[in-house]
Copies of this chain bind each other. A is one copy, B any other.
């Protein structure tokens, strides 16, 4: 089992070198030294070790620069894998990605809205089947990134919300899945995972500060600073779906009033559509449907096709999201905001255009720099892919906490594998 560390010494230096190789796709040792600030001798030694571990391979000669041609090195993407599992209220997405973060297998299924004692064995069985089908050897799997909604106790590996059933509140999801699968499991917030996955897969500059608005059934958020997720005190940060749009708004089950989710989220739009005379019938909405995302997709598709009523609802939702995006920018001072998740899949361009307009007009520090609104590279599976990427990042890039008890805390993203 690959849960033992890949290396025992200087994890940060090795992680840094590996991350530069990963991001560059193909790079020479001389360029590595320039990009990392490390000496040529250190680079040579680290690259030798990484090649010995099978993580990096040589890959031909670089373009001639007048002198001796340089041997390029690149990641060996098939050396390691990780698994991402996204648990939504009734839906589960499982992906397997290679060391470069590329998806090699995917499945999704419904029917996890049951107590964890019954749901988690189903999830584990799906992971087992997917790994077997993809032909991925188990000892090359670094671990599983399980992502779900907040609030969570990430270190303890438990959800702090009674969803989808009461039994999930405080249930040891991470420990249970670790035991069943025999693989290390980390728990994280779905939107935070989606956010870090976007940087890893190249949607944004890795040195930037950027946000992500993640919309599935609910609305979540994440902020990434120079590649590391902003964590706050307990990793329950950037809960943008539950910031208030109106001090006099209705109370939300979360305790706050006038929450964004209740104006702009898929459930709100389906409710608004059902309350609009003629619209539900015209779009073929089913008032008894349990699956909000499918009904919402109908509204989004009709908006794209020019249905005035549907378009009005989506634009209203986009204005609220733009409003929340401005708050995110005002508070986190981001360079960009990525729109990710299944609920941006259909009408993403309407959302992107309108949120960008709000941002350009309203953002406090627009004299300092613009804020770009960008579509996700990982789309509907952004959270599950992000879960898998968090495992890669935790194991490879950020390095494990040092064993010598040095006082400086480990990077925020480095903890969590159980």
Residues on A facing B (Cβ under 8 Å): 12, 16, 35-38, 150-153, 160-161, 208-209, 221, 225-226, 230-240, 242-247, 254-257, 319-320, 323, 326-328, 330-335, 361-369, 404-409
Contact = CB atoms under 8 A, between A and B. Distances in A.
A33 to B, nearest CB: 10
Q: Which secondary structure characterizes the binding site on chain A?
A: loop
Q: How many copies does the complex hold?
A: 2
Nearest to A366: B255
A244 B327 contact: yes
A234 to B, nearest CB: 4
A151 B367 contact: yes
13 contacts: A151-B367, A160-B367, A160-B368, A208-B233, A233-B333, A236-B333, A238-B333, A242-B364, A244-B245, A244-B323, A244-B362, A256-B330, A331-B332
B245 A233 contact: no
Given A247-B246, A256-B330, A320-B247, A364 B407 contact: no
10 closest residue pairs by CB, A with B: A232-B333, A236-B365, A237-B333, A37-B407, A160-B367, A151-B365, A256-B362, A209-B233, A234-B368, A243-B327
Contacts of A406: 37-38
B239 A364 contact: yes
B209 A232 contact: yes
A368 B238 contact: no
Given A234-B365, A236-B365, 11 more contacts: A37-B407, A38-B407, A152-B368, A234-B333, A238-B333, A243-B326, A244-B362, A246-B247, A255-B361, A256-B364, A257-B362
A267 to B, nearest CB: 17
Contacts of A209: 231-233
A365 B208 contact: no
A151 B232 CA distance: 24
A255 B319 contact: no
Contacts of A333: 231-238
Nearest to A320: B247
A24 to B, nearest CB: 14
Contacts of A16: 407-408
A258 B167 CA distance: 41
Contacts of A240: 330-331
Given A257-B362, A368-B160, A405-B37, A233 B323 contact: no
